[in-house]
Structure 1
């Protein structure tokens, strides 16, 4: 496991992002916070929330709303229905910035590419991706004859850190190293800003874990992704 390099913000990456770089994409009630709709489903509470704070989050999300608590260990009241539980790993960049460039075919993905991005995410299921998710940070991709062949982007932005997310490749374009090239491009971009990349991956996705380790990431800690339905 890599040494601690000012990584306390990674213990609450959603809350730290909503309080900082993503404050303009946040909705709040009391100490509870969540991303605005169509950007992300992630919500955040304090490290030791009381009943009033859970009530604030319930009112913020609305009856039947999804409280995607990401990696927060906070436990909601017993009448909040569990929706999903997924074991994951939080990994941090533990190497020097890539020296090789991404290649001329790596392009920025703007608002005009959202339909293609949504289609690729639907086909490959890299994780939650919504119509406004690209507003969280920069997204890059490689286009092929049939449209968008691969993409990756920036998601959570706690102070000093940039999360790499939505890494996916169309089935017909796999085996060409596109995902690795896009991840390296985003690593270099973050390093140029003086930020350190990190990411999250399902623990069962051993192929992805191995790829990220080869690229220079190391496991910081296991995490559990959990979601609940507001009563």
Structure 2
């Protein structure tokens, strides 16, 4: 049976995936200062801190004045330093430990800015997680169409040194049960591995159907993280 064998450096990076992405693969997109950074608000709500110091929380509060921020941490934050938690959830981080051949034969198309309205409509309906008008700029997004209708999509979100996150996996309710999610995920996995990187993803911890699918596709649960949406207490 495959095992998850990661170096201490990689484990530390995956424990703080947002900070790791904003200081490596997505550093060019980072807004903020030395101890707290975020993605541009139109791309993603994610922000992160270098550590749990007062200075880091102060910088995060400054970033939250612009728009709400979402942090992903190894444990639920105890002291929010004057910020309010708008939403919190436990998410499971899964890392691909097996190379899986592409599944299915549905035609896959690249998605770009011309597809933004359809992508926003599908993600609003299926709610795979935060997806905004410029989220597609984070990486490669692909989809399956039925005529002009976007039936399913998935793409790449956070990029860390050596790792790329698969995200926004969603299928319109009218097209479920056709293997479209597997088709898209395995295509992304093949492309990510082709760059010499390892695919990983996050899923709400009680989404048992999705977890079972990811396990069939070669992903292994690594840890549980806390997803928290924060805003200033005076908003």
TM-score, length-normalised on structure 1? 0.92
- Provide the C-alpha distance between the structure 1 equivalents of 2:222 and 2:140, rounded to a whole number of angstroms: 24
2:177 corresponds in structure 1 to 175
1:144 corresponds in structure 2 to 146
CA RMSD of superposed structures (Å): 1.8
2:93 corresponds in structure 1 to 90
Gaps of 5+ in 2: none
2:6 equivalent to 1:2: no
- Provide the C-alpha distance between the structure 1 equivalents of 2:80 and 2:223, rounded to a whole number of angstroms: 26
Q: How does 1:1-231 map to 2 (within 5 A)?
A: 2-6=3-7, 7-8=10-11, 9-47=13-51, 49-62=52-65, 65-73=67-75, 74-96=77-99, 98-100=100-102, 103=105, 105-145=107-147, 147-231=149-233
The 1:56/1:105 distance shift into structure 2, 3 A limit, reads same
Aligned-partner SS, 1:69: strand
- Provide the C-alpha distance between the structure 2 equivalents of 1:163 and 1:91, rounded to a whole number of angstroms: 10
- Provide the C-alpha distance between the structure 2 equivalents of 1:222 and 1:91, rounded to a whole number of angstroms: 9
The 1:139/1:106 distance shift into structure 2, 3 A limit, reads same
The 1:66/1:171 distance shift into structure 2, 3 A limit, reads same
Aligned-partner SS, 1:220: strand
Task: Tell me how far 1:76 sits from its aligned partner.
Answer: 4.4
